[in-house]
Amino acid sequence: MATKLLKEKLVPKTIFSGFVLKLLFIMFFVEFVKGALIITFLPIYLDDVLKVGALVIGWTLAVQYLGDNLLRTPIGWLIDQIGYRACMLTGVLSTFASVAIIATTSSYFWIIVACALLGMGTAPLWPCVITGTTEIAGEKQRGTIMGVVYMAWLSGVGLGPFVITFFIGNDHYQSAFRLLIGIMIAVVIVAFLLPGMEKHLQSKEAEKAKMQKNAAHVGLKRPGNRFQRAQQYLNEVRKSLTMSPLMFPAMFFQTFALGLLTPVLTLYATKILALSGEQYRYFLLAGGLVTVLFMVPVGKLVDRWGTKWFLHIGFLLSSLVLLGFTYTRSMPMLYTLVVLLGASYALLIPAWNALIAAAIPPEKRGAVWGFFLTIEGLGTTIGPVVSGKIWDDISYHAPFLASGSVLFVLFFVHIYISQKNKGVLQHE
């Protein structure tokens, strides 16, 4: 974990230290590659070339999310034990292997293997970036750093599918893959520059001394074997969390609503709306650009005013947009709705993650973020499977209506939570 020693070396005066910039560089370009593959390439390739249905596409994407999700909690724990470089480097090398496999095969089996590798490769990304940046930012800049992190994430996720369309045409994908492989080489080099084992061990010793002092103060006696120590650790984490129990299902459903959209956005744009490549690029740009531009300003406002009203407005606005989205055929109105959806996510993302960060005990940041990201990852794993099923069996409206309905329920859940925890939600 990045403790006080690491903080002093890396960021004496600003959250934008070399350490944070390296993490953001990796975040942006890994998500660029992942977005290009998951949102644009694979749905089109699997539908047009391999001729599989939306349900199969959903399962293929779910394999990626499953690998990502299952490893987040143990990787969060590993960050606390061995530091950032080893965890992140293993991940980016696995992502590199995934890109190489997809670039050299047309076998559905090997594409599934590559998706699993992509999931395992991106698993260290969020625990490393969230743990490192929030530790550096401290309590007073949680919203700001979350805005910055998610701006890097969304910029990558949005620009990847957008840029890759310029390199794909008439079933020629080699230029696209050369671009993705070149990007991954740069990411591997930057991962080598993250703090290594020696610096981490120094930080770990300082944190260990602090933990022993705290344990002695409360009279805590740790059991001897590993299972008992792990159980004691989890009990300490549970007792130190300051959030409503409803936040745990809310974490799942917030990302489940997003996961419902992942495998069908491209299919809807190309099959139902029949957008050209240029129109589709503008379609992606309309929402993504608004979200990116407003993410950091909203994060700063969250630090100043709290999370409550940003979440109220974000949940309600996004739900209403999605509930009416697929019943609109006017292109100007569609672009307006996409812009409103982007604005709603710009309100939601910094506020939601600042709210979660406020509940995490600093001395267990890596493991707890890993656990929370696992809960959220379940939503992005299950969402695409459900989405593909209801697209095939019900209608193309169904995934959008389901996503909007989930967000509408979360709007009322958050109202209830904010009433039960007025002090926490208004001031954190």
pLDDT higher than threshold 60 for residue 424: no
Examine residue 294 and state whether it is found in any structural domain, yes or no.
Answer: yes
Residue 242 is predicted with a pLDDT of 58
| pLDDT per position as a tens digit, 358-396 | 766 665 666 676 677 778 778 877 887 788 788 888 888
Share of the chain above pLDDT 70, in %: 71
- Has residue 217 been placed in a domain? no
pLDDT in tens, 170-215: 556 678 888 899 999 999 999 888 876 544 444 444 444 444 444 4
pLDDT in tens, 77-111: 677 667 778 888 888 999 999 988 888 877 777 88
In this predicted structure, the answer to whether residue 405 has a pLDDT above a threshold of 90 is yes
Inside any domain, residue 227: no
What's the structural domain count of the chain? 1
Domain assignment present for residue 221? The answer is no
First to last CA, the chain: 23
List of residues 6+ apart from 338 with CB closer than 8 A: 283, 286, 287
Closest to 132 (Cα-Cα) out of 201, 84, 77, 189: 84
pLDDT at 56: 67
| Domain-embedded: residue 212 | no
* pTM of the predicted protein model: 0.64
Confidence category of residue 51, pLDDT binned at 50, 70, 90: low
Give the pLDDT band (50/70/90) at residue 16.
low
pLDDT tens-place string over residues 268-317: 887 788 877 677 777 777 777 888 788 778 888 888 888 888 889 989 99
**How many Cβ atoms sit within 10 Å of the Cβ of residue 216?**
10
Region 413-418 average pLDDT = 85
119-170 pLDDT, tens digit per residue, is 888 888 878 887 777 777 666 666 677 777 877 877 887 788 778 878 776 5
The boundaries of the domain holding residue 148 are: 4-200+241-427
Q: Per-residue DSSP letters for 213-261?
A: HHHHHHT----SSHHHHHHHHHHHHHHH--S-TTHHHHHHHHHHHHHTT
> What six digits make up the tokens of 404?
């909007």
So what's the pLDDT on residue 28?
Answer: 92
**Contact yes or no for 272/334 (Cβ under 8 A):** no
Asked if the structure places residue 367 within a domain, the reply is yes
CATH of the domain at 127: 1.20.1250.20
Q: Per the domain annotation, does 13 fall within a domain?
A: yes
pLDDT at site 216: 40
Instruction: Tell me what pLDDT residue 93 has.
Output: 93
Mean pLDDT for the stretch of residues 16-26: 84
Query: Which pLDDT score, from 0 to 100, does residue 422 have?
Result: 56
Q: For the segment 24-34, what is each residue's pLDDT rounded down to a tens digit?
A: 899 899 989 98
